[in-house]
Structure 1
Amino acid sequence: MSPSPRTPVLVGAAVADQRCDDPREALEPIALMIAACEAAARDAGSRALLARIDRVAVPRGFWLYPDPGRIVAEHFGAAGATTLVAEFGVLQQTLLADACRAIAAGESDVALVTGGDAKYRSLRAERAGVTLADTVQGDVRPSQVWRPHDVLWSELEWARGLRMPVGYYALLESALRHAEGLSLEAHARELGRLYADFSAVAVGNPHAWRREPTSAEAIATPGAANPMLAFPYAKLHTSSWNVDQAAGLILCSLERARALGIPDERLVFPLAASESNHMLPVCQRDSLAHSEAARIAGQRALTHAGVEARALGPVDLYSCFPVAVRLVAEALELDPGRRLTVTGGMPFAGGPVNNYALQATARMVEVLREGDGAPGLVSSVSGMFTKQGFGLWATEPPARPFAFEDVSDAVAMASPARPLDAEPDGEARIVGYTVLHEQGAPARAIAVCDLEGDARTVAFSTDAALMAAMMREEFCGRVVRVSADGAFQSS
Structure 2
Amino acid sequence: MLVGIGTCMQREDSPKRALEPMDLMLKAVQRAGADAGGAHTLVGVEHIAVPKGRWRYRNPAGEIARVIGAGSATTVLASVGVLQQSLIGEACSRIALGEIDTALIAGADASYRILRAKQLGERATERQQEGTPDISVEPAEELLHPAELRAGIRMPVALYAILESAWRSKNGLPVSAHRQQLGAMYQRFSEIAAANPQAWRRQALTAAEISDASDRNPMQAFPYTRLHCSTWNVDQAAALLLCSAAKARALGVPQSKWVYPLASSESNHMVPVSARADLAGCVGARLAGHSALAAANMDALQLDLLELYSCFPVAVEAYAQELGISLTRELTVTGGMPFAGGPFNNYVLQATCRMAELIREGRGCTGLVSSVSGVLTKQGFGLWANQPCAGGFASTDVTSDTARLDVPKTVVEAFRGRGVVAGYTVLHDKGAVPRALVLADTDTGFRALAWSEDTALVRRMEDSEFCGATIAVEDELFTLA
The alignment's TM-score, normalised by the length of structure 2, stands at: 0.98
Which range is displaced more, 432-441 or 363-372?
Answer: 432-441
Determine if contact 2:113/2:124 at 8 Å carries over to the other structure. Answer: no
Aligned to 1:486: 476
Q: CA deviation at 1:374?
A: 2.5
Choose which of 309, 319, 331 in structure 2 pairs with 1:340. 331
Determine if contact 2:200/2:234 at 8 Å carries over to the other structure. Answer: yes
Determine if contact 1:229/1:440 at 8 Å carries over to the other structure. Answer: no
Aligned to 1:437: 428
Q: CA deviation at 1:441?
A: 5.2
Q: Which runs of 4+ in 1 moved over 6 A?
A: none
Asked if 1:22 corresponds to 2:32, the answer is: no
CA distance in 2, matches of 1:287, 1:304: 27
What is the SS of the residue equivalent to 2:424? strand
What is the number of equivalent residue pairs in this alignment?
481
Deviations 1:188-234 (A, max 9, x none): 11100011110000011000000011111100100100011111111
Q: CA deviation at 1:422?
A: 2.1
Aligned to 1:149: 140
Q: CA deviation at 1:293?
A: 1.0
Aligned to 1:362: 353
Determine if contact 2:44/2:71 at 8 Å carries over to the other structure. Answer: no
Deviations 1:272-314 (A, max 9, x none): 0110000001111111111111111100110011111111011
CA distance in 2, matches of 1:211, 1:325: 20
CA distance in 2, matches of 1:413, 1:339: 33
Task: Go from structure 1 to structure 2 and tell me whether the alpha carbon gap of 1:336 and 1:131 turns closer, same or farther (over 3 Å shift).
Answer: closer
Asked if 1:168 corresponds to 2:159, the answer is: yes
CA distance in 2, matches of 1:123, 1:282: 29
CA-based RMSD of the aligned residues comes to 1.2
What is the SS of the residue equivalent to 1:419? coil
Aligned to 2:206: 215
Asked if 1:88 corresponds to 2:80, the answer is: yes
Task: Go from structure 1 to structure 2 and tell me whether the alpha carbon gap of 1:351 and 1:455 turns closer, same or farther (over 3 Å shift).
Answer: same
Percent identity between the two aligned chains: 48
Alignment of 1:124-273 (within 5 A): 124-138=116-130, 140-273=131-264
Deviations 1:79-126 (A, max 9, x none): 221111110100011111110011112222111100011111121122
What is the SS of the residue equivalent to 2:371? strand
What is the SS of the residue equivalent to 1:471? helix
Q: CA deviation at 1:463?
A: 2.4
Deviations 1:53-99 (A, max 9, x none): 11110001001101111111101111221111110100011111110
Asked if 1:418 corresponds to 2:438, the answer is: no
Asked if 1:69 corresponds to 2:61, the answer is: yes
Match for 1:318: what amino acid?
Y
CA distance in 2, matches of 1:302, 1:453: 41
Asked if 1:329 corresponds to 2:326, the answer is: no
Aligned to 1:276: 267
CA distance in 1, matches of 2:121, 2:377: 38
Q: CA deviation at 1:170?
A: 0.4
What is the SS of the residue equivalent to 1:40? helix
Asked if 1:406 corresponds to 2:393, the answer is: no
CA distance in 1, matches of 2:352, 2:128: 30
Which range is displaced more, 453-462 or 110-119?
Answer: 453-462
Determine if contact 1:435/1:442 at 8 Å carries over to the other structure. Answer: no
Which range is displaced more, 82-91 or 38-47?
Answer: 38-47
Choose which of 85, 104, 108 in structure 2 pairs with 1:112. 104
Give unmatched runs, 5+ long, in structure 1.
1-8
Match for 2:58: what amino acid?
P
Determine if contact 2:114/2:123 at 8 Å carries over to the other structure. Answer: no
CA distance in 2, matches of 1:321, 1:391: 20
CA distance in 2, matches of 1:461, 1:372: 50
Match for 1:395: what amino acid?
N
CA distance in 2, matches of 1:131, 1:90: 28
Match for 2:450: what amino acid?
A
CA distance in 2, matches of 1:373, 1:201: 16
What is the SS of the residue equivalent to 1:101? helix
The alignment's TM-score, normalised by the length of structure 1, stands at: 0.96
Determine if contact 2:176/2:463 at 8 Å carries over to the other structure. Answer: no
Give unmatched runs, 5+ long, in structure 2.
none
